[in-house]
Amino acid sequence: MDSTNDIARKLADEGAEEGTIVIADRQIRGKGRRGKEWISPLGGVWMTIILRPDVEPSKAPQLTLVTGVAVAETLNQEYDLDIGIKWPNDILIGDKKVSGILTEVKTKNGEVDYVIVGIGIDLNMDINTFPPELRDGATSLKTELDQEIEATRLVQRFLEIFEVLYKDFNEDNFREILTGWRKMSNTIGKYVEVHKKGRTVYGEAVGVNKDGKLILELDDGSLRKVISGECIHVTKSK
Ligand code: BTN
């Protein structure tokens, strides 16, 4: 496929029902956040879920965190690995990215029409085949576990866990999901740079508020909340 997100958007526009999943062996135009390319060769899990949650549009981006918790929980339950979540939605093994999430929201007459949640998991690929600039920061389950991973089982487990969390989200239990997110976060407590629209904010990540915004303590001691952006963990301590 070109991109499972693109196909899912087309299906959702045509009325596909909630729970429809688009899954590919390989994407030739995989999309990452901020317009970046997402390298998607054979051996990974590339899938997109169509959702039609009954929430205000402002809450739809929270589904990115819900999905991040579901991916991290799946990997934690299935494997003995050091899994963490980098705000808002990168799943890491140690300090290397193994999975990313791209959420897109479509509204109609001020309401959510649909949300598509794209999930990429680096499973059975050899990271040495990735472009050099990505190699240092990325890993795959096969690299970490030294064995091939059965994709079908992983996808099944993920969907079971996601379904429970999505139900919680629809029942207004985002706070509880955030408790899980905080436990698995490896951003909180770190000094970070957050890049957004050409601007950079530096500070210590001290928490995530009830809406999923990252709370930064800036060098002058003031607090700043950020809803989105690219977050980089830096070694400098406060
Ligand atoms: C990121 O930049 O971290 C988000 C990456 C999201 C990649 C997934 S793979 C399945 C779905 N289809 C796409 O084109 N992108 C997402």
For the segment 16-67, what is each residue's pLDDT rounded down to a tens digit? 999 999 999 999 999 998 889 999 999 999 999 999 999 999 999 899 999 9
What is the b/e burial string over 22-54, where b = at least 16 CB atoms within 10 angstroms of the residue's CB? bbbeebeebbebeeeebbbbebbbbbbbbbebe
pLDDT in tens, 141-152: 999 999 999 999
SS3 135: helix
| Contact call for residues 64 and 105 (beta carbons, < 8 A) | no
Sheet holding 90-93, edge to edge: 21-24, 45-51, 111-121, 96-108, 90-93, 83-86
- 68 C-beta closer than 6 A to ligand 1: no
**Which residue has its alpha carbon closest to ligand 1 atom 10?**
46
Q: Using alpha carbons only, what angle is made at residue 136 by residues 187 and 182, rounded to the nearest 5 degrees?
A: 15
pTM: 0.94
Most confident range, picked from 63-72, 133-142, 227-236: 63-72
Regarding the beta carbon of 67 and ligand 1, being less than 6 Å apart is answered no
CA of 219 to the centre of ligand 1 (A): 33
Is residue 220 scored above 90 in pLDDT?
yes
- Once rounded to an integer, what is the mean pLDDT over residues 109-118? 97
Name the E strands within 109-153. 111-121
- Is 41's C-beta closer than 6 angstroms to any atom of ligand 1? no
Specify the ligand 1 atom closest to the Cα of 36.
Answer: 2
